[in-house]
Each structure stands twice: as structure tokens, then as C-alpha cells.
Amino acid sequence: MQPVAAPLDLATLYPGSVSKPSQPDVVVMLCRDCCCGTTKKHPRTDHEEQQLALEAAAADNPAVELRIVDCLDECDRSNVAVIRRPSAARKDRDTWLGGLLIPSATEALADWVRDGAQGLPPRIEAHVFRHLPPRKKR
């Protein structure tokens, strides 16, 4: 009978080479495309300032990642952002925010990110809407 070799894993072969991928607790997806973030559609909004404020807030909280994303197919509600909790149950995973056009809304979202991103910021509850995914073609 031949001896059975113990299985080797990558961590044994290359110590330090395998790391657990880190997943943020919260991802804020900020739409920047044809309608969100454009002065063409929303000339009175400082879109750059909005993005900078959210980037700065996310930089202050390592549990939150800000992602700039393309059109989320909710252009009528621009500027749109989605708060995603990757580890939450599907029904609780995404919170959609629309009409983020005034500085106080950006400030509320940035403060919430900085303050731990727990629950939902009361100051922007009025921006929450129910996103209905597009129907699948049959």
C-alpha cells in the first residue's frame, strides 16, 4: 500500500499569497451617465461636488465603498444612487435613492457614510423609491 500524500493548498505552498477577499459592508453605487451627473439634464446641480463629497466620505469609512456606475435605467429619477449591503438577504440588499440633486441630500448621504452607514439616513428617506427590475422578455 502506497502512502497517501497530504493535500497541499496554496497557503501552504505560498505563505502570504492567499488572502481572503475583503468585501465592504456597504457599497454606494453612484450613477454617472446620460442623465445622472450631467449639467445638460440638471444644470443647477454641482455633480462634481456631489461625487467628491461622497468619495471623501467613503475614504473616511473603510466599510463603505463608493462605485461610480453607468446608467441604472432609472433616468427619470436622476441623480440616482443605490445603497447595497452585499451580505444582506436579497429583499434587503438594495436601497434605491433618486432625485439626489440638492446639496442637503448629498450632505445627508455623505454624513451617513461617515457615521457608519447603519440603517437608513432619515434625512434622505424621502429619496427612497422602489426599483422594479425590467420584465424579462419571453
Q: Least CB distance from residue 80 to ligand FES, whole Å? A: 5
Question: 66 with 25: CB under 8 angstroms?
Answer: no
What's the grid cell of residue 35?
442623465
Nearer to ligand FES (CB atom), residue 61 or residue 101:
101
Tally of CA atoms within 13 A in the half-sphere of 55 that contains its CB: 7
Q: Least CB distance from residue 115 to ligand FES, whole Å? A: 26
Other CB atoms within 10 A of residue 86 CB: 12
How large is the angle between the packed helices 103-114 and 47-60, nearest 10 degrees?
10
Contact positions vs ligand FES (CB under 6 A): 31, 33-36, 71-75, 78, 80
Looking at the DSSP bridge assignments, the partners of residue 129 are 96
Q: Least CB distance from residue 41 to ligand FES, whole Å? A: 8
Question: 76 with 129: CB under 8 angstroms?
Answer: no
Nearest C-alpha neighbor of 120 from the set 104, 96, 102, 86:
96
Nearer to ligand FES (CB atom), residue 58 or residue 100:
100
Nearer to ligand FES (CB atom), residue 100 or residue 113:
100
Nearer to ligand FES (CB atom), residue 35 or residue 97:
35
Q: Least CB distance from residue 36 to ligand FES, whole Å? A: 3
Q: Least CB distance from residue 131 to ligand FES, whole Å? A: 10
Nearer to ligand FES (CB atom), residue 26 or residue 36:
36
